[in-house]
Structure 1
């Protein structure tokens, strides 16, 4: 699953289209040549794996991903599931938990329709900001059943770093081993106590919006990582950038996929975070979770 000789970005999108819901063509990330070039640059820096968390009804495009794999040689793990309310297909609200679970299991065991690819994880499944809707709970319950049947890990989405507690409690109620769960978007507000609690439950946490300074400044992300380092907690932290827009790409004036390697890693070193800890977050932890 994971190429264990290199680093892994654990929460990315290589083809995503949320433009219908957001009314903004910038939210249609589909510029193949630009993305291919950035992946080649990433690979030259030692990033050999991308966990692609675009799932059903988010604009997932398996042909696009197949071409990227063939043209770059980078290892891409695909996801199954549904995102958050407001981005669900209308029919999802009337589907049963078992129907949704069977869809997930099918994409893991039999493959994504029309492609040579199988889903490697269940994600990104999410909660709305400060609200865990009934349909979102249904998706989480379906994910729990799919995980228990397939053993594949679960990757979540927290809207603005909210409701991680509720996600964990809901998954625990359905018998999930937290060692197989990673909680996404933990780095969008001052919430060190929440992150410590999540890690103490046994799950992984993601600092996966690195570079999105308009949401939360990287300086504060570094403050929290430094605090986690001092407590010896980085063995449960993983890193990524969550690039979702055309404007995030380097050629379009954005930071680009390489920012984490080229800029953020040196900033971590300046804060006293060791190379061993950096390797733990970008290499060893993803191997442990995604296998």
Structure 2
């Protein structure tokens, strides 16, 4: 699954289209040549794996991913599931958790949309900002059943770093061992206490919106990682950028996928984060979770 000779970005989108819901073509990330070039540059920096968390009804495109894998040699893991309320297909409301689970298991065991590509994880499944709706809980319940049947890990989405505790408690209630779960978007507000609580439950946590300084500055992300380092918690932390828009790409004036390696990692080193700790977050932890 994971090529553990290189680094892994654990929460990315290489083809996503949320433009119908957001009314903005910038939310259609589909510029093949630009993305291909950025992945080639990432490989030169030692990033060999991308966990692609675009799932059903988010504009997932397995043909696009197959071509990227062939043209770049990047190892890309695909996902199954549904995102958050407001981005669900209408028919999801009528399905039971068991029926949604069957869809997930099918994509894990048989392949996505008739292709040879199989889902390697269940994600990104999410909760809304400061609330966890009934239909979101149903998707989490389905994810729990699919995880217990297949053993594949679960990757979640927190809207603005909220509701992580509720996600964990709901998954636990449905029998999931937290060692198989990673909680996404933990780095969008001052919440070190919440992050420590999540890690204490056994979860992995993701600092996966690196570079999104308009939401929360990277200097504060570094502050939190420094605290977690001092307390010995980085063995459960993973990193990524969650690039979702055309304007995030380097050629379009954005920071680009290489920003994490070129800018953010040096920021960590300046704060005393060791190379061993960087390897733990970018190599060893993803390898342990995603296999």
Per the normalisation by structure 1, the TM-score is 1.00
**SS in structure 1 opposite 2:37?**
helix
CA distance in 1, matches of 2:178, 2:136: 19
CA distance in 1, matches of 2:21, 2:114: 25
**Count of aligned residue pairs for this structure pair:** 291
Q: Deviation per CA, 1:163-195, whole angstroms, max 9, x where unpaired?
A: 000000000000100000000000000000000
Hey, what does 1:32 align to over in structure 2? 32
Hey, what does 1:275 align to over in structure 2? 275
Per the normalisation by structure 2, the TM-score is 1.00
CA distance in 1, matches of 2:57, 2:269: 39
Q: Give the superposed CA RMSD.
A: 0.3
Per the TM alignment, residue 48 of structure 1 is displaced from its structure 2 partner at its CA by 0.2
CA distance in 1, matches of 2:30, 2:113: 20
Hey, what does 1:175 align to over in structure 2? 175
CA distance in 1, matches of 2:115, 2:244: 23
Q: Deviation per CA, 1:43-76, whole angstroms, max 9, x where unpaired?
A: 0110000000000000000000000000000000
CA distance in 1, matches of 2:113, 2:256: 30
2:55 is equivalent to residue 55 of structure 1: yes
Hey, what does 2:195 align to over in structure 1? 195
List structure 1 segments (4+ residues) > 2 angstroms apart after TM superposition: none
Hey, what does 1:132 align to over in structure 2? 132
**SS in structure 2 opposite 1:189?**
coil
2:247 is equivalent to residue 247 of structure 1: yes
Please, which runs of 5 or more residues in structure 2 have no aligned partner?
none
Hey, what does 1:122 align to over in structure 2? 122
CA distance in 1, matches of 2:273, 2:4: 22
Hey, what does 1:206 align to over in structure 2? 206
2:223 is equivalent to residue 223 of structure 1: yes
**SS in structure 1 opposite 2:155?**
strand
CA distance in 2, matches of 1:201, 1:116: 35
Hey, what does 1:145 align to over in structure 2? 145
CA distance in 1, matches of 2:109, 2:223: 41
**SS in structure 2 opposite 1:131?**
coil
CA distance in 1, matches of 2:285, 2:190: 23
CA distance in 2, matches of 1:106, 1:70: 24
Please, which runs of 5 or more residues in structure 1 have no aligned partner?
none
Per the TM alignment, residue 114 of structure 1 is displaced from its structure 2 partner at its CA by 2.9
CA distance in 2, matches of 1:273, 1:156: 26
**SS in structure 2 opposite 1:8?**
strand
